[in-house]
Each structure stands twice: as structure tokens, then as C-alpha cells.
Chain A
């Protein structure tokens, strides 16, 4: 099984390499530009001015987190939680996770599974992709962050620590791994990639929205617990809190359960 899984991983990585390289480079470049912009704001002392421009009701809603956002570290963290970037990364894991559905749709699964290749090997390949692809892109982002800090040379007092950057990266990766697992379960049961990706991507967008709204609208706080994004609070990390083990446990536990479900579905289904 290991040999077949290795062949399939290499095959899939070869097909995804351009997407991975372009996404990683763009996000790394974004981090470099963000660091340079934040350093400029810091040199001009405009963080306090920016904070004062925020309407009072927003300040009351966001509370002390606003001060964290309006700091060098807060701006640097933006790349790890901005909705557009998270959406791109979710799109990447959904694409990786729905490869089994694409293979069933194209008939490539027939050719692969007509060889002495187990369905477990096919799914193991997808689990590896779901975990490794976001890790590669986030590693590129993290690299971009460090390069940006080197180039921008901010004042030492406001500079985010390496620990904070790793915690942000680890938190973001955990959310993506969680959603990758769920998407894999959807992809394992589907015959069409568009259907699987639409379901997984649409659900991610809805759950992200629920999580955002729950921060300002109390009745949504209960349902927001179903959203994986609820368990990733980058501003808490910027404010100096540690990466909550319980939240990471929920995310990785959900990933593990979803992956188990995906294996079961794919083993039992008709191709």
C-alpha cells in the first residue's frame, strides 16, 4: 500500500505544483508587503490615529482586541486571518480533498483501482495532500513574514515574536486541516467534483459568516460552535494568549473523525 500511496502522492503533487507554487509565492509576497506597510505606519506613529478613526460602536464591540489589531503585530497577523486569504486557503484544501471525486468523475479512479491498489491507498494519498498542501502554503507565508520583518526592520518593541508567528501559522493550519477532513468526507461520497467542492466550499463560507456574525450578534454564538473558525482566534494570540490546546484538539479531532468517515465511505461505495 505504501508504494502505491507514494506513487499517487507524487502524481497528485505534480498536478498541483503550479497552484501551490503560485499561491505560496503570492501569499509570501503579501506578507512581505504587509510587513513593510506596517513598519511604515509604525515609523509614522499612525497606529493610535487609525484606532481613533474607528467608530465608537465598533470599538465597544471589538473591545481591547482593537488595540491589538492596530499594532505592528496586529497588522502582521492580518495575513493569517483575513477573509480573502482564508478563503483562498480553504479553496486549496477543498481542491485537494475533492480529488477522489474528480478521479471518479474522469474515470481515472477506474484505471487506478483496476491495478492492485487499495482504496485505502487512494484515500491515504488524499489525507496527505489535505495536510501537506496548506502546510506548504502556510510555510511560504511564514517565510514571507520573516523575510518581510528582515527587510522592514521595525522597532524592536512592536515586532511580533517568532513564537507568535508560529502560533498563528499552527492555528491557521489546524482550521484548514479540519476543513480538509470534512471536505474529504464529502469528496469520498461524491461522483462529481463540482458538487463536492460546491458543498464543501459553500458550507465553509456559511460557517465563516456565522462565526463572524456571532462576534457581534449574541444569538449566533451557539451555532457558531459548529464552525471550525470559531476555534481559531488570531487576535487572542496577538494579545499574548497561548494557542488554546482545547481548540486545537477540537479542530484536529474533527479532522480525524472526518477522515475516518471519508475512509469508510470510500471503502464501501461503488466507483
Chain B
């Protein structure tokens, strides 16, 4: 359902706790249908932003909106469109999983379809007997799976997930990624915070990086990846002269021996390929840049 109204929009959003600024002047727009990864180190302000979107926290300045509904002034309408998975806790320890899901489904704006809830439980390997156990008997992973079901069960147009795969085993992480892929295919929006950069690289269309409460990077994942250099390694069958001096600055020489060149290339590798013409190339290895190569730099140094 394409629409011009952003699924998540913040303008000048600021949250202070006394002298501590948790979120500073945050401008963000997440288009409907996107899977948006919200990244940052611990304490960067990710969860604070999410809690402002859900009107659990009140901003010091600025505004936030979900699909056109102001999160504070029109919070009920905004939250009617959200499925939320918190970063931790949430369920009373003396409730059974079934009771917890039951209460939340009765409070949801949309009717929870039994068939869909059952499918979610099956996909996350949740047995009926597990549902009738009390939450205090659950492992961390089971609590996280219950939280995933609670977030997904009402088919909300926007899913806000705070570190969704934290504490899940690899199989369940895979199940979670498949669910996210399905949601994206349905045109729904996902706003997820995560520390796992490989996961973000895999499931997100676009990312925003927070550093000390400020947005230091917002771009599509492909574009961010291209900001990092590819590693190009060339091996020769016999000694060759060093690389030519006229290469552009986007090509950095990392290490050169008689029979091997290691290069870091941002953008086009055409000058390298041209230089290899006529040389006795034995092997050429091009490693694609990783998202973390860029993101970690932003974590450390900012823009």
C-alpha cells in the first residue's frame, strides 16, 4: 500500500534527562514498506526513540508521528497501527504464555486471527504445552519467541522491534528473518533496532546510525556498503613490477610484493583491471565490502 505519508517520521526529536541528552534533534523518515535498521552502540538513544514513538516516553522537544498520527497528541490512533516487541522483559512471570498472548490480543486494535497466531507459534517452534506453562519457566529464548508472536499476531502495518533476535538460537533467528521477509513482501513496514550488523545487512533496506543521540548516518544499505572499500587481491605466476603511480585516490595500495598486490578499492575497479592487462595473473580475489566496515567507523568516529 504505497502512500506518501512516512511510516515513521520524527522532526527535531529531543529527549533530555537532566543534563544528559539521550536523543538530540533527530530527523528521520521511514517510508512505508521498508525494513529500517536503527543502529547504535548501547546508550546511543535507540530504545529511547522507540519508546517516544510508542508514547511511553515524552519528548523534551520535537515531534514524532506514525503513519501520519502524532505519537503524543494522537497516540491511540498511532499505536493502533503498531506491533511492538520490547528489548527485554514484559511478561508477568506468573502468567502462562497463552494468558499473555490472550490479554494482548484483546487489547490490540485488530482482531487476531487464530490461524495466523497458530502459524506464528508453529514457525517459532512453540508447542501447545509450552503455551500453558508459566513465563517464569521459560528460557530467555522462549520469552523472546513469545514476544515475537505478540508483536506479529495482530498484523499491524508497522512493526517496531527492539533487538528481535537477541537471545534466539540460530534456527529461530532464521525463522525470524523469514517472518521479516514475509512482512516486507506484504508491503508492511519494519522499524528494528539491532546490534547484529550481519542481520541488518541481510534484512534491512535502509539504516540509520545513532551516535550519542544524534543521527550520524541514514542511507540505503547498498549505498552504505559501497562507502566501504572492496578488498582486491591479485596473485601473479611470476614477479611483476609494482602498480603504476597514476591510479586515482579511490584505489589504495595496502601491500605489494613481487607476486601479489593487495588493494582497497572504493567505487570503480576499472583502473586496476586495465593495469592487469598483459600481466601473468594467477588468481584474482575481490571481497565485497561489509556493512560493519562502514558502520563501525561511524560508531567510533561519527560522520
Contacts and interface: CB of A to CB of B under 8 A. Distances in A.
Interface stretch (A102-110, A154-162, A194-202): A102-110
Interface string A111-124: 11111111000000
A268 interface: yes
A114 B58 contact: no
B113 interface: no
Interface stretch (B27-35, B72-80, B210-218, B257-265): B72-80
B84 A114 contact: yes
B107 A7 contact: yes
A117 B95 CA distance: 20
Dominant secondary structure at the A interface:
helix
Given A7-B107, A11-B103, A271-B51, A111 B56 contact: no
B58 A115 contact: no
Q: How large is the interface on B (under 10, 10 to 19, 20 to 34, 35 or more residues)?
A: 20 to 34
Q: How large is the interface on A (under 10, 10 to 19, 20 to 34, 35 or more residues)?
A: 20 to 34
B91 interface: yes
A218 interface: no
Contacts of A118: 75-76
Dominant secondary structure at the B interface:
loop
B271 interface: no
A114 B77 CA distance: 11
Contacts of B89: 106-107, 110
Interface in A77-114: 106-114
B106 interface: yes
Given A107-B89, A268-B58, 14 more contacts: A7-B103, A7-B107, A108-B90, A108-B91, A110-B54, A110-B86, A110-B89, A111-B84, A112-B103, A114-B54, A115-B79, A117-B107, A118-B75, A270-B56
Nearest to A6: B106
Nearest to A7: B106
Interface string B82-101: 10101011111111000100
A235 B58 CA distance: 50
A116 B106 contact: no
B57 A271 contact: yes
Interface of A: 4, 7-8, 11, 14-15, 106-118, 268, 270-271
A118 B107 CA distance: 11
Contact of A106 (B79, B80, B82, B90): B90
B104 interface: yes
Most A CB within 10 A of own CB, among B51, B86, B91, B103:
B103
Nearest to A110: B86
A111 B47 CA distance: 14
Given A270-B56, A271-B51, A114 B92 contact: no
A7 B56 CA distance: 20
